Structure 1
Amino acid sequence: MKEITTKDLAKKLKDEEKISIIDVREDDEVAQGKIPGATHIPLGQIPERLDEIDKNKHHYMVCRSGGRSGKASGFLKEQGYDVTNVAGGMLDWKDEVEK
């Protein structure tokens, strides 16, 4: 499984790269703040919301610590998606968040 550090992901955002970030945490966790521009799709809803995830784009998967996003990454990879897990998740995220 491909992984990226939160520091490297933050650099991509600062460099204004057009990237897709999917936050798979639960509603109450996301309410405390998410990476700016991230799409929120809770882990349990991924299978029924595949039509919202563009198969032609690369996606960065994030959760609280990297476990759930790792599961989401594995599932999406099996479905033919190009994904990278964000190692350390929001616990390691040091940059700004949006609420």
Structure 2
Amino acid sequence: MKEMTAKEVELLVNEGKVLDIIDVREVDEVAAGKIPAAVNIPLGLVEFRMHELDKSKEYIMVCRSGGRSGRAAQFLEGQGFDVINMAGGMLSWEGKVK
């Protein structure tokens, strides 16, 4: 499984790169703040909403600390998606939140 640090993702966001970020935290966790471009798909719904994703894109998976996003990344990778886990999750995120 590929991984990036929160700092690496933040640098790409600050450079204006268009990233496909999926936040797999629960709705109440996301309400406290998420990466502005991130789409919320709680971990328990990833399997049921993966039809919304495009296999030609690369997705960065995010959660609170990196564990749930790692599980989501492994699952999606097994389904043929190109995914990267953001190691350390939102606990390591120092960038802007929405």
Q: Name the TM tier (shorter chain).
A: over 0.9
TM-score normalised by length of structure 1: 0.97
- Tell me the CA shift for residue 53 of structure 1: 1.1
Equivalent residues in 2 for 1:16-27 (5 A)?
A: 16-27=16-27
Matched, 1:62 2:62: yes
Q: Distance in 1 between matches of 2:68 and 2:90?
A: 12
> Structure 1: which 4+ aligned runs deviate by more than 6 Å?
none
Offset from partner CA, 1:5-36 (integer Å, 9 cap, x none) = 00000000011111100000001100000001
Offset from partner CA, 1:41-62 (integer Å, 9 cap, x none) = 0000001101111111000000
Equivalent residues in 2 for 1:59-98 (5 A)?
A: 59-98=59-98
Q: Residue 42 of structure 2 corresponds to which residue in structure 1?
A: 42
Residue identity over aligned pairs, in percent, reads 55
Q: How many residues align?
A: 98
Q: Distance in 1 between matches of 2:10 and 2:17?
A: 10
Q: Distance in 1 between matches of 2:66 and 2:17?
A: 22
Q: Which amino acid aligns with 2:2?
A: K
TM-score normalised by length of structure 2: 0.98
SS in 2 for 1:45: helix
Q: Which amino acid aligns with 1:60?
A: I
Q: Distance in 1 between matches of 2:52 and 2:34?
A: 19
Q: Residue 13 of structure 1 corresponds to which residue in structure 2?
A: 13
Offset from partner CA, 1:39-86 (integer Å, 9 cap, x none) = 000000001101111111000000000000000000000000000000
